[in-house]
Chains A and B, each alone.
Chain A
């Protein structure tokens, strides 16, 4: 496919009527910008630590793609203000009308043009019973074509929301009727599957909370909180523009500089002393892995993507990669004003050092008032989830089966500024297992999907990305070994997501996993080898990809088919 043809495809997909394409680079000095409401979109350099020096030779560089911002030609005053998420409880057979539309939202004192489902950021929290079926009448009213992917659901393939595979894109003004089924209890989420780096980043995400059939599925709690973790990259003029033809920030993904919980940069919660709170956490950030802490209050992890753990465990923090979910319970056993934080050891590549970095995600006030009901005894008990253990027992004889598929993760680059290539080569003296912060914002910003290709390679066939075309039979149990090559030009951790199926992480780097949970997304750190066991339980053509939005759109995806031989 030629560049011009690819541009044509994207022009059709992304070019909003009347939006002008700016070519100037004025970001470094932050002067001479058009007014915030101007239709003109120009590149602005992303904000970065002022102590971080500019690499010689790239001061005047801009991404090789055109800048894009939503609704650039529309006055913000014409758009509704985003509302807080509403909880929508649906019974079997119910239908929800859901519209993607433009909204405004004020973040860090700036009114931004964003997207929302039903005018909400996050979108409606859909609460349903396990084994129920609902319908979502989706309407697209944003200027970009879109779809809705129902992340983690083992649903009918026709409704998985992947453009060109399970459905056509839903253009502005068009509708699509999704039929959703919920075979598994727990926490799931929905988001677009076209240019997530733009659409999801600007607010198109929401949760589904599936109540279990099994009684006492969770321990009793005083409160339940469904929290969506996110970040957004903005400066004094609003969001840093996105790449029109393909994403910017394709090396590390687009890290934000403002943390959001349920779309709110000033999120807060209040509890009573002794309260046991169950938190349902989802990371919808494009690239950031959070390390969530609750000020040292006792905490245990209960569940993750598609099930509970075999056994509950005490934990200090919750490292949660893009698209992952964790269910944790916290007991606020003493009063105080504290914070839910993202606590990481960040990297300063220039100084060659790690340094502690803490973001406040939510301000927590624990009142002196005691809880209404004391659940401390049940909280102190680490439960074994026998239903999960028995479910996994069926697969345990297969844990030692030979590896069916060997995958390797890597990167190719072409056409990047020479100084960036040089810096990356120097940088590979040490690459960390995880990138917790954007330690090279300028280089990252300049690397677009036109220059960077992230790769999943099938080592057995030599095929890569969408050249891979596996076929499995319904009921197959497939062992995959995934190696994240540390010797590629710019290695990075990858949260690998498999659509429509569930899998177990058997081991990492030879260390056997002794407490399993059904997953749909798992982080493969740099240099690590992860073995997973995938139950091919759902027929159709599905995707497997990195859930860092910019990596996905820089090629890091493949397709596979599960055939139902009984119907042939």
Chain B
């Protein structure tokens, strides 16, 4: 009886329970996890310029900061994330210290996260929409330092950085890039 009622509701809401599916975009292999979203995790890639970093790689997980609303956004609508990074297969520096930074993609703003811990992990927070995570080798850690001075060991780009202009590309190829300021 209930089945009939449910089917009746479906009809009233305008949905057929047996559509002929042509495209199934649901990923059968998608795993469910309470871990941070894999999709938004940032891959840290070695520059291979420094001794002990040739095989190094890392991951930075992004989770919303604690919020009574579940999602965390500021009064300007910026997402607010906690960052939790870990680096593997990187040897401690012979001298100096690895320091983690955040930067906007055009490098006009830089934020010091802090030194990389002995366990090659770090924690930080960010409210930029697109950003870089950068690990540099500094002579020493100076909390007053506003911009890195040493060489870059690893770097990564937030997933949002992949949102790239389609002006002059893809389905918009008929549009002249220059018209939209891209030359």
Number of B residues whose C-beta is below 8 Å from A? Answer: 68
What is the count of residue pairs linking A and B with beta-carbon distances less than 8 angstroms?
Answer: 249
Q: Are B17 and A508 in contact (CB under 8 A)?
A: no
A301-B10 contact given A352-B165, A354-B129, A509-B34, CB 8 Å threshold:
no
The listed residue with most A CB atoms (<10 A of its CB), out of B7, B20, B172, B175, is B172
Residues of A close to B39: CB separation below 8 A: 431, 486-487, 526-527
Which of B16, B64, B77, B79 is A508 in contact with, Cβ under 8 Å? Answer: B64
Task: State whether the Cβ of A184 lies closer than 8 Å to any Cβ in chain B.
Answer: no
Residues of B close to A421: CB separation below 8 A: 23
Q: Are A410 and B174 in contact (CB under 8 A)?
A: no
Task: State whether the Cβ of B54 lies closer than 8 Å to any Cβ in chain A.
Answer: no
Residues of B close to A165: CB separation below 8 A: 5-6, 8-9
Q: Are A505 and B70 in contact (CB under 8 A)?
A: yes
Q: Are A411 and B26 in contact (CB under 8 A)?
A: yes
Residues of A close to B30: CB separation below 8 A: 408, 410, 483, 485, 487
Which of B3, B37, B163 is A429 in contact with, Cβ under 8 Å? Answer: B163
Task: State whether the Cβ of A32 lies closer than 8 Å to any Cβ in chain B.
Answer: no
Task: State whether the Cβ of B170 lies closer than 8 Å to any Cβ in chain A.
Answer: yes
Complex: chain A residue closest to B130, CB-CB = A354
The docked-state distance in angstroms from the alpha carbon of A408 to that of B174 is 38
Chain A contacts with B in 389-436, Cβ cutoff 8 A:
406, 408, 410-415, 419, 421-423, 426, 429-434, 436
Task: State whether the Cβ of A453 lies closer than 8 Å to any Cβ in chain B.
Answer: yes
Task: State whether the Cβ of A555 lies closer than 8 Å to any Cβ in chain B.
Answer: yes
Q: Are B77 and A467 in contact (CB under 8 A)?
A: no
Residues of A close to B19: CB separation below 8 A: 414, 453
How many whole Å from A54's CB to the nearest CB in chain B? 9
Q: Are B165 and A9 in contact (CB under 8 A)?
A: no
The docked-state distance in angstroms from the alpha carbon of A104 to that of B165 is 43
Q: Are A553 and B14 in contact (CB under 8 A)?
A: yes
Q: SS class of chain B's interface: helix, strand, loop or mixed? A: loop
Q: Are A509 and B12 in contact (CB under 8 A)?
A: no
Residues of B close to A426: CB separation below 8 A: 166, 170-171
Complex: chain B residue closest to A299, CB-CB = B75
How many whole Å from A450's CB to the nearest CB in chain B? 9
Q: Are A353 and B165 in contact (CB under 8 A)?
A: yes
Task: State whether the Cβ of A6 lies closer than 8 Å to any Cβ in chain B.
Answer: yes
How many whole Å from A245's CB to the nearest CB in chain B? 7
The docked-state distance in angstroms from the alpha carbon of A57 to that of B21 is 24
The docked-state distance in angstroms from the alpha carbon of A195 to that of B12 is 9
Q: Are A459 and B166 in contact (CB under 8 A)?
A: no
Which of A163, A343, A356, A410 is B25 in contact with, Cβ under 8 Å? Answer: A410
Complex: chain B residue closest to A484, CB-CB = B37
Complex: chain B residue closest to A313, CB-CB = B68
Q: Are B15 and A319 in contact (CB under 8 A)?
A: no
Residues of A close to B166: CB separation below 8 A: 349-350, 352, 426
Task: State whether the Cβ of A500 lies closer than 8 Å to any Cβ in chain B.
Answer: no
Q: Are B75 and A1 in contact (CB under 8 A)?
A: no
Chain B contacts with A in 140-169, Cβ cutoff 8 A:
159-167
Which of B10, B63, B161, B171 is A56 in contact with, Cβ under 8 Å? Answer: B171
Q: Are A509 and B63 in contact (CB under 8 A)?
A: yes
Task: State whether the Cβ of A92 lies closer than 8 Å to any Cβ in chain B.
Answer: no
8 new A-B contacts, CB < 8 A, other than A1-B11, A412-B25, A413-B25, are A6-B14, A163-B13, A291-B75, A352-B165, A414-B20, A465-B15, A466-B7, A529-B37
